[in-house]
Chains A and B, each alone.
Chain A
Amino acid sequence: MGTIYYIKDNNNVRLHPLDYMTLLYDRLSGITHIVAEPAPQIIETLGSQALSVEQIERELQKQYDLKVFEDSDDSFADIITARLDEFIDLGIIDKCDEEQKVKLT
């Protein structure tokens, strides 16, 4: 069974786009995170859903033309996972096994 990611409190998270960055306000902690892409796009993709890294990548591919820096070996999946882990450390996202997905709905 794969790992899926979800926003812990989707109703209490607000995104506010600025020029080259986005503000992410986490109401229950009172903290504002200043985030750069693709982090806000990942949050928007998740919304109220619980998705795997592969599903998130597929959704991003539908909406955007994904690019990495020329000398980068990182895969899209690795980059998305790193961003998700960053959000887990910030307490905004959590993860679980796919079989536990039913308990989230």
Chain B
Amino acid sequence: MSEDKNIDESQDSIENNMKAGAEPNRRRMLMMGAVAATTAVSVRPAMAQTSSSVLTCTVPIPGPHGAGQNVAPDGSLVPRNTPGSFNPYGRRFRGEDLRHAVRGRTLPGTTYQETRAYVKYIKRLRSGQSGFTCFASIQTRRY
């Protein structure tokens, strides 16, 4: 029947147009949020450790992997003479002092900015780096 033939022809035409690249935009929308938003919530693992050893464990700054380097304000390790960086002299800080430092108190023998830099350094520590276990234990204990 002629009407059926017309319908078939128009359907072919639509398919040909799509094959020619005139496809609709099927990308998913991605909400970008805002600059000031925080998009990460961190869950730390529980670690088995007795109360006394947590508070007396120490973290060397820097650890052996950073020997001879300074700590920049963002916690990264930088060459000794980098402007604005701090020389921690390989000092070891106690778990108890670090627990307070994370909450805003200054570490013994340091300035406020120095403490902030060392806390950022410690937060970047990874398994295998000296001080990681001590700091991870501080983060998970309830006091």
Contact = CB atoms under 8 A, between A and B. Distances in A.
Given A33-B43, A67-B31, 6 more contacts: A29-B126, A63-B27, A67-B30, A86-B38, A91-B125, A94-B76
Nearest to B126: A28
B7 interface: no
B127 A64 contact: no
B43 A64 contact: no
B32 to A, nearest CB: 5
A65 interface: yes
Contacts, number: 104
Chain B interface category by residue count: 20 to 34
Given A28-B126, A36-B33, A79-B33, A64 B27 contact: yes
B102 to A, nearest CB: 13
Contacts of B45: 30-31
Contacts of B43: 31-34
Contacts of B132: 29
Q: Which 7 A-B pairs have the closest CB atoms?
A: A64-B30, A91-B124, A28-B126, A30-B45, A82-B35, A36-B39, A34-B41
A74 B35 contact: yes
B27 A34 contact: no
A78 interface: yes
Interface string B25-59: 10111111111111111111100000000000000
A69 B123 CA distance: 32
Contacts of B40: 24, 33-36, 39, 86-87, 90
B39 A68 contact: no
A37 interface: yes
B128 A28 contact: yes
